[in-house]
A and B are shown apart, each in its own frame.
Chain A
C-alpha cells in the first residue's frame, strides 16, 4: 500500500506570504494528524481529524493556521500570513482502527520563512 505523502517537500516563502501544505493519508485511514518540529524542539501535535471532522485542534498555535479535510480524504494546512517562527518541518500522519491506531508518518514538508 502507498504510504502517507506530503506536498511540497520544501517551501521557502517570505514573511507575510501564504503557504498551503498538503497531506494525502494512506487510503482508507479515517484518522489524520498534523505535527510540527521547529528548530531545536521536539515534534509537537497540531491537530487531529477523524474523517472530515476536527477531533482535536488544541495544538494549533494561533488563528494564522487553518486546516481542512474536505471529503475526509486529503488535508491541507494553510498558514496565512506566515511569520518567521513558523519555520520548521510539518509532518502528517494517518491511522486506522484495524491497525491498532499505529500512526504512519509522511516525509514532512520543510517550511522556511524568510
Chain B
C-alpha cells in the first residue's frame, strides 16, 4: 500500500532564503509525482508534475526532483517570498495511468517578511 510522507510538517523561514521541502513514498512503482500548493480556504494548484521517467522539472523559482529508486522527491524554492506562504502537498499516482493520487499530509510553509 502506497504511503506518502512529507517532512517537515511546518516550516518558517525568512524572506529571501532558499528552502527544500521533502517527500518520500513507499512504493517506487509510480506513474508520476505531482507537487501542489494549497492556500487557506482555496483549492489545489498544481505546481510541477514529474513523470516516472523524468528526474526533475523546473518552473520559475521552483525545482522538483524525483529519485524513484529511493522513493524520494524534493521541492526546491529559490529566493523565497511572503507570497510563497501556503501548504505544499506531494502526491503520487499509481502505475496504471488512471490510478488514483495518493497525497501526503503537506508542509505548511510560512515566509517571514
Chain B interfacial residues counted at CB < 8 A: 24
Q: Which of these binds chain A: B19-27, B38-46, B66-74, B76-84?
A: B38-46
Q: Which of these binds chain B: A14-22, A61-69, A76-84, A105-113?
A: A105-113
The A/B interface has a contact count, at CB < 8 Å, of: 55
Q: Which A-chain residue is minimally distant from B91 (CB atoms)?
A: A43
**B49 engages A100 (CB within 8 Å):** yes
**A45 engages B100 (CB within 8 Å):** yes
> B residues bordering A, Cβ < 8 Å?
4, 31-32, 34, 36, 41-44, 46, 49, 51, 89, 91, 93, 97-98, 100-106
> A residues bordering B, Cβ < 8 Å?
31, 33, 35, 41-45, 48, 50, 55-56, 59, 91, 93, 97, 100-108, 110
